Structure 1
Amino acid sequence: MLRVILLVNALAMATVVLHSRAGAEIVPAGVAWAGWLELPLFITILLLYVIQPVLVRLAPGRFWPAVMAVIALVAVFAYPPFGAPSGVAFWRWMGWSILASCAVMGYFDYRGRLYSPALTEARLHALTARIRPHFLFNSLNAVLGVMREDPRRAEVALEELADMFRVLMKEHKELVALDSEISLCERYLDLERLRLGERLVVNWDLSCKPAQALVPPLLLQPLLENAVYHGIEPSQQPGDIAVRVARRSSEVLIEVSNPIVDTPRAQKGNQIAQANIRERLALFFDLEADMRIDRSGGRYSVRIRLPYRRLNT
């Protein structure tokens, strides 16, 4: 909806600029166009939203004509009450409406091809292939360190490591259950505790966790890995990582925070992981999800907001 509003208004402004003979005419003409255009535009969007369940069941050959029919109908009824822009004849008003609609639908058609399932799957595969924990060798060394003292713990650690990489090597082209993502993170943290011991404290706040929620695969683990690498490893003192998962109305909120340590560390890996997560959120949810970074109160926090999707039961 936001893209439709912005595109149509951009086209209207381009029309004003092209038809204005002097720069002083642009602002008043733009205001006049906004007065003529916004209400029919909002009515069109509202109608398309209401009849969306019917439109999505139409074949492609009927879908676009149906959308164009709605747009033309609104343009016809909107013309008499509001008059024609700058005295433009009815046929010009209708022509502009049809051309603007074709331009907007052409944009969405291009965008649909750009993010077609095959291309999206290929991009997701490339992105998730880059998410491989840096702790592999550290974990193996930690297992070797406890193998003689606690063979049972070393065996469990190797099983956890195998389970983790079994998950990491899968093709991640669909959303996964939030519970399985949390379980993966718990196995990862158990492995990190082998070498960090009591220095690693994790506080989980899952009291408001949404039941049966779906999230992009490998969403939490890279954030926890960054939190360990930047907030726990550089310090000799115990540090806590706080993880909060909650549902707010139709959204899922995820927050991971860690203490800010003065010891400088390379930031490139952190930025790559965050950019990776942002792109995967965009591929799965488009504008409905976002990720924000906050540095305050001596803590580094990553907050993710995404739409609530649930398992089909």
Structure 2
Amino acid sequence: MGVVLRILVVMHLALFIYTLIGLQNWLAWPQHFVDSVLWLEFSLLPAMLLLGLANPLLTRLSYSRGVVATCALAALGGTFGRLLITPQAPDWDLLLADAIVMIVAASTLLSYFHLRQRALSPRLSEARLQALQARIRPHFLFNSLNAVLSLIRYEPVKAEQVLEDLADLFRVVMKDNRQLSRLDREVELAKRYLNIEMVRLGGRLKVQWNTENMPGDAAVPPLMLQPLVENAVYHGVEPALNPAPIQVNIFRFRDQIHLDVKNPLPPPDAVREHGGNGMALENIRERLLLHFDAEATLTTQAASDYYQVHIVVPYREITHDDAASPFSGG
């Protein structure tokens, strides 16, 4: 969807600029613009339809051959558009000019998408992902170990469970997390993290899980939910004496997965000196862009007494954690 939207916007913007070049009479511009738009629609839409139908074949070609094939299909679309507008005896010079225009446009768009892909290359994304993985703060590790030490003498079984949760959490954080993950795996990871924090915070930490309509097989970026609940604990629960519960709502609506994390905000005099939400949210937003492009969104809402993060991703099913290709949109 993001590719289609960018093509439509760029082509119509270029058409608008083209109709202004060499304009001598403003009274003639509306008719000139309408004629140009009519040609563009009858050329661009068939070309995009052909490219969509040919996509399984194009993906098997090398990049250079794929460029040639894409430009040829674009030229065919331009020729088709001109024939629809002027079904009488064709003007071969005009048909050739239309084909050249579509080839130039296709080449320009392909160059743009190629540069954009390099800007979002796996190496840069891996670096961003490593930054996100490093967000498990040292103070969290030290506090968890201190909580375990306090339990070893009096509640050894509980201390053993906390150590198991801590080991599982860091095992996931330290592994190669470039592939999409199942949603139920991300929920389980967040619950393991919250189990550790409950040992330290006791009854102050309450979480309401609303996951009855959650499809566990949905594909999401790894380590997407745990940083959100960590922020909710750090900014909403720790500074307050009697905080309200953290609310986590996950559900499917049509072909989209909605994920909400809502945490209370403590009184102004209890707020921490630093904000701290930015890096985790920005990392998640960049990985959503990488995996799903314009089909995914991350929005935040701050009120006087709560802070909410809302994520929407397209529903794509995977049967296991390794079913999706690294950094792919499918």
TM-score with structure 2 setting the length: 0.83
Structure 1 unaligned regions, length at least 5: none
- SS across alignment from 1:269: coil
Partner of 1:35: 38
**Which of the numbers 253, 273, 292 marks the counterpart of 1:285?**
292
Q: C-alpha displacement at 1:310, in angstroms? A: 2.3
1:212-269 Cα distance to aligned partner (Å, 9 max, x none): 2222111001100111112111211142011122222322211111122223324531
**C-alpha spacing 1:129/1:199, structure 2 compared with 1 (3 Å):** closer
The corresponding residue for 1:265 is 272
Q: Find the counterpart in structure 2 of residue 166 from structure 1.
A: 171
Q: Are the aligned partners of 2:71 and 2:102 in contact in 1 as well (CA < 8 Å)?
A: no
1:152 matched to 2:145? The reply is: no
- 2:71 corresponds to 1:68: yes
Change (3 A) 1:262 1:38: farther
**Does the 8 A contact of 2:67 with 2:107 survive in 1?**
no
Residues 1:212 and 2:217 aligned together: yes
Query: Residues 149 and 303 of structure 1: is their aligned pair in 2 closer, same or farther, counting only changes over 3 Å?
Result: same
- How far does residue 120 in structure 1 lie from its aligned partner after superposition? 4.8
Please state if 1:132 is matched with 2:136: yes
| CA distance 1:6–1:138, shift in 2 (3 Å) | same
1:78-117 equivalences under 5 Å are: 78-82=81-85, 89-117=94-122
Aligned: 1:5 with 2:8: yes
Output the aligned Cα RMSD: 2.7
* CA distance in structure 1 between the aligned counterparts of 2:170 and 2:298, rounded to whole angstroms: 26
Aligned residues: 310
Q: Report which stretch shifted further, 168-177 or 153-162.
A: 153-162
> Are the counterparts in 2 of residues 124 and 172 from structure 1 also a CA contact under 8 Å?
no
- Identify the range of structure 1 (195-204 vs 254-263) with the bigger mean alpha-carbon deviation: 254-263
Deviation at 1:160, TM superposition (A): 1.6
The amino acid that maps onto 1:294 is: Q
Distance 1:26 1:262, change over 3 A: farther
C-alpha separation in 1, matches of 2:293 and 2:82? 35
What do the CA deviations read for 1:22-63 (whole angstroms, capped 9, x no partner)? 788767654543333123212222222223223223343432
1:124, distance to aligned residue in structure 2 (A):
4.4
Residues 1:303 and 2:307 aligned together: no
Change (3 A) 1:194 1:98: same
CA distance in 2, matches of 1:24, 1:127: 57
Q: Give identity over the alignment, percent.
A: 38
- Distance in 1 (alpha carbons) for counterparts of 2:224 and 2:40: 42
Deviations 1:2-31 (A, max 9, x none): 111112123223323433357887676545
SS at match of 1:11: helix
AA at the equivalent of 1:252 = I
Answer with 199-208 or 58-67: which moved more: 58-67
Deviation readout 1:176-220 (Å, 9 max, x if unpaired): 222221121111111111121111111111111113222211100
Distance 1:23 1:144, change over 3 A: farther
- Matched-pair contact (CA < 8 Å) for 2:51–2:70: yes
Larger mean Cα displacement after TM superposition, 162-171 or 215-224 = 162-171
Q: How does 1:174-213 map to 2 (within 5 A)?
A: 174-213=179-218
- 2:226 maps to 221
| Residue 238 to residue 77, structure 1, CA distance change in 2 (3 Å) | closer
Alpha-carbon spacing, 1:94–1:198, altered in 2? closer, same or farther (3 Å): same
Of stretches 189-198 and 238-247 in structure 1, the one that deviates more from structure 2 is: 238-247
Which stretch of the first structure deviates more once superposed, 21-30 or 298-307? 21-30
1:245/1:255 contact within 8 Å kept: yes
Q: Which amino acid aligns with 1:304?
A: I
| SS of residue in 2 equivalent to 1:265 | coil
Partner of 2:327: none
- Whether the 8 Å contact between 1:216 and 1:281 is mirrored in structure 2 is yes
> Structure 1 CA distance, aligned partners of 2:175 and 2:292?
21
